[in-house]
Amino acid sequence: MRFWSRPFRGRWAAQVIVVAVFYCGTAILSLRLAFEKTNASPVWPPSGIALVAVLLLGYRVWPGIMLGAFFANVVTFLANQAAGVLATVTVSSVIGIGNTLEAVVGKYLLDRLVGARSPFARAPDVLKFTAVPLLACLVSAGIGPTAVALAGIVPSAGYGTIWFTWWLGDAAGVLLVAPLLITWSTQPQLRWAPHKGIEAAVLFLSLFIGVHVGFGGLLLTHDAHYPLPFVPLPWLVWSAFRFGPREAATAAAITSGIAVWDTVSGLGPFVQDTINESLLLVQAFVGIVTLTILTMAALVTERREAQARLQKAHDTLETRVAERMRELVQVNEMLQAQITERKRAEAEHTKLEAQLRQTQKLEAIGRLAAGVAHDFNNLLTVIKGRSQLVLTRLPSGAPLRRDIELIQKTSDRAARLVEQLLAFSRKQILQPTVLDLNAVVDGLLDMLRRLIGEDIELAFVPAPKLGRVRADTGRLEQVIVNLAVNARDAMPDGGRLTIETANVDLDEGYAGRHVSVRPGAYVRLCVSDTGDGMDEKTRVRLFEPFFTTKEVGKGSGLGLATVYGIVKQSSGNIWVYSEVDHGTTFKIYLPQVQESAETVAERRAAKPHRGGAETVLLVEDEDRVREFIREVLEGLGYTVLEARRPGEAMRISERHPGPIHLLLTDVVMPELNGRRLAQRLTPGRAEMKVLYMSGYADDAIARHGVLEPGTRFLEKPFSTETVADKVREVLDDTPEG
């Protein structure tokens, strides 16, 4: 909304009437100061009222200005009997037109020079406002005196004096009234604090007294002419500096009004020998006082606004700086969090990569070990079997008997070494059952105490209501014993060995941080010692076959590799945590199963006779192994049908007219594996039983090395007694047994 376009709640007619009444009333009072019969007043406040009315209400209220001026001049002319009725009406109408045009021109000039803002908020605008009445009042001064002179109301000789008085009077009226009305209309509310209100009351009361003292109208006599025009100046400066344009305009109006009244009354420093001189001085005083004080107030206002803007800018800057600092802190925290998360992710990624590389490395070593173990088992089967056959044929005092016994013992040691390699490579044969891990550990405690010695304290902390797991009892016992032996060797001066069990749930987060771990319910077996511990370099290679930190000859390096293989073959996971001088902890996680623990049935006592007369179909692709087995079985009385390949075995079965009681076949062979061979031969021979043999378990008969229930298996390398007992056991076995 523009500064001058303030709303008025009345209708147009009401606005016009109000303006006319105010203008007329003020004009009648002002004309009392006019020269006799000329209506030329030294100060004409209605000109200020007219300008303010047009500024605040718009050009549309001009009829009110014209009517007010017309009636005021008619009343005054008639009262002074200055002219006839027709002349009075005519001259009053012309004067009304001049006063109206004066207000319209004044508004136009202010709109062009100042614009929509208040003319008292900036010092340059105050100067422009002061110039407006000096220019606009030329209109009324040019029309009014001319009409009066043409009507013969005043002589032509006095035209110049009347014109000058008219012009300065209108200009002084605008300067005296317009600032007062504009500032109070644009700031109608008094927002003073209590102490500020008291200060304002003291200011205006003392100003009123001081002005009367200065112009000789209160304390001095009527005839005194002691000039004290500078007495009001401190109050005027006070109002400008302590308050603002509104209070400064009020103080200037009070000072100017008293000065004009006292001068007209013949008092004060402006009273001279002629009326023209007196009017010129008082009008100059009104103009100078108004211009000076309003300019000073505008400067103070500009300074205050600048200070306010500066303070606001400072506060805004501080606020923005604080907000920016908070944003920077938040961004920094986010960046720190992102950097921390990125570092954590990178560390986690590096850890997972290391785990994956180690797992792949162990897998590669395991595959290599499995292949080597398979080939070694075939060789050891021949060495061990042949040495036993030779021993049976040598007399007790034969010189070669000692050498053959040494060969047999060495082959037994080699067989145990191969068995550990198979355990690491997860290719050994397991016979898993559902078991209670607490019961397994409890059954080993006495043996473990004897194994680790009296200087090591053994503590077992079983978890209540421990879940069940599926594993091979013997292999699981081997895991616990190997870890106990490893802990004992790490505590040469004694210490504490703690075995704990617990039910745990591994979530997605844990599984994501550990290779090959699946979320779910597990049973945890924790074996901790207070020994020497190990560094990271040693811990990374801990499960590698043949890696050991012990002295030469004191460790094969397969103990922990065997533990790793058994745990992995049991679908579990093992992790080690260790620091130098802070001990070592092994944590084994085995999947829980929702089944009851099984009771392993006792084996039936071996029958005393080990031979028989049944027919055995022997299928083995290794010639030396096949020849050894054939020789053993034929020595026990069996009829042996020998085949090198599965195809040859099927042809022998087709041509053989009699029954075949047992199929003894290797698992891994060219053309066809042992499982498939048995599936093709058994449908046509209901009486034939099957016994598998191999150096390691293949997927044909085992899933990840776990033997299927009911499968009969002979693990290489084996002795003559083992093959004789196993063949007899399978032949004698019945469905009920």
User: Quick one: 584 and 659 in the same domain?
Assistant: no
Quote the pTM value: 0.45
| Residues 122-150 as b or e (16 or more Cβ within 10 Å = b) | bbebbebbbebbeebbbbbbbbbbbbbbe
Supply the range of the domain harboring residue 159.
12-298
pLDDT of residue 600: 42
Coil, helix or strand at residue 311: helix
Residue 412 lies in a domain: no
Question: pLDDT exceeding 70 applies to what percent of the chain?
Answer: 78
DSSP states along 198-223: HHHHHHHHHHHHHHHHHTTSSSS-TT
User: Quick one: 517 and 654 in the same domain?
Assistant: no
Cα–Cα distance, 695 to 718 (Å, whole number) = 10
Torsion on CA atoms 378, 382, 384, 389, rounded to nearest 10: 160
Domain boundary among 532, 562, 593: 593
Residue 416 lies in a domain: no
CATH of the domain at 657: 3.40.50.2300
Q: How far is residue 56 CA from its own chain's centroid?
A: 56
In order of 220, 366, 703, the CA distances from 373 in angstroms are: 138, 10, 19
Domain boundary among 298, 333, 367: 298
384 contacts 706 by C-beta, under 8 angstroms: no
Cα–Cα distance, 206 to 234 (Å, whole number) = 11
Residue 317 lies in a domain: no
DSSP bridge partners of 99: none
What token pair was written down for 462?
A: 């079983």
pLDDT of residue 704: 33
Averaged pLDDT for residues 289-313 = 82
319 contacts 289 by C-beta, under 8 angstroms: no
Of 49, 39, 43, nearest in space to 18 by CA: 49
User: Quick one: 453 and 492 in the same domain?
Assistant: yes
- What are φ and ψ of residue 621, in 5° steps? -85, -15
Query: Quick check: 609 pLDDT over 50?
Result: no
Task: Report CA torsion sign: 698, 703, 706, 709.
Answer: negative
Averaged pLDDT for residues 182-187 = 80
Residue range 672-683, pLDDT digits in tens: 888 888 888 888
Residue 82 lies in a domain: yes
- CB-based contacts of 644, cutoff 8 Å, min separation 6: 619, 620, 621, 623, 626
pLDDT of residue 615: 92
Residue 401 lies in a domain: no
Residue carrying structure tokens 């800018």: 313
- CB-based contacts of 290, cutoff 8 Å, min separation 6: 130, 175, 176, 179, 249, 252, 256
Neighbouring C-beta atoms of residue 550, cutoff 10 Å: 12
pLDDT of residue 616: 92
User: Quick one: 460 and 513 in the same domain?
Assistant: yes
Residue range 417-474, pLDDT digits in tens: 666 555 544 455 566 788 899 999 988 888 888 888 888 899 999 999 899 998 888 7
15 contacts 8 by C-beta, under 8 angstroms: yes
User: Crossing angle of helices 559-569/401-424, nearest 10°?
Assistant: 50
Task: Classify strands 639-643 and 662-666 as parallel, antiparallel or unpaired.
Answer: unpaired
Specify the DSSP element, H or E, that contains 706.
strand 706-707
| Residues 673-693 as b or e (16 or more Cβ within 10 Å = b) | bbbebbeebbeeeeebbbbbb
Averaged pLDDT for residues 137-153 = 86
User: Quick one: 444 and 556 in the same domain?
Assistant: yes
Cα–Cα distance, 459 to 499 (Å, whole number) = 6
Confidence of residue 641 (pLDDT cuts 50, 70, 90): very high
CATH of the domain at 522: 3.30.565.10
Residue 166 lies in a domain: yes
User: Quick one: 550 and 626 in the same domain?
Assistant: no
Query: Quick check: 253 pLDDT over 60?
Result: yes
- What are φ and ψ of residue 194, in 5° steps? -55, -45
- CB-based contacts of 211, cutoff 8 Å, min separation 6: 231, 232, 235, 254, 255, 258, 259
Residue 328 lies in a domain: no
User: Quick one: 39 and 163 in the same domain?
Assistant: yes
Higher pLDDT, 207 or 377: 207
User: Quick one: 563 and 658 in the same domain?
Assistant: no
Q: Is 182 exposed, middle or buried (0-12, 13-18, 19+ CB in 10 A)?
A: buried
pLDDT of residue 362: 55
User: Quick one: 530 and 628 in the same domain?
Assistant: no
Coil, helix or strand at residue 528: strand
User: Quick one: 621 and 586 in the same domain?
Assistant: no
pLDDT-wise least confident of 32-46, 166-180, 693-707, 711-725: 693-707
Cα–Cα distance, 279 to 475 (Å, whole number) = 129
User: Quick one: 211 and 62 in the same domain?
Assistant: yes
Domain boundary among 264, 298, 332: 298
User: Quick one: 511 and 656 in the same domain?
Assistant: no
HEC states along 598-653?
A: CCCCCCCCCCCCCCCCCEEEEECCCHHHHHHHHHHHHHCCCEEEEECCHHHHHHHH
What total number of domains does the chain contain?
Answer: 3
pLDDT of residue 236: 80
Cα–Cα distance, 633 to 415 (Å, whole number) = 22
Higher pLDDT, 219 or 285: 285
Residue range 398-414, pLDDT digits in tens: 777 777 777 777 777 67
Residue 484 lies in a domain: yes
